[in-house]
Structure 1
Amino acid sequence: MKTGKKILNAFSTGMTNGQTEGFNKKIKAIKWVSYGYRNFENFKSRILMVFRT
Structure 2
Amino acid sequence: MEDPAGRILGVAEMIEDITDRHRAQRRLALLDQAGSLSEPPSTWRRPPGNSPR
Q: Determine if the TM-score, normalized by the shorter chain, exceeds 0.5.
A: no
TM-score normalised by length of structure 1: 0.41
**Higher RCO (CA-CA < 8 Å; seq separation 6+):** 1
The TM-score with structure 2 as length reference comes to 0.41
Structure ranking higher in helix proportion = 1
Larger radius of gyration: 2
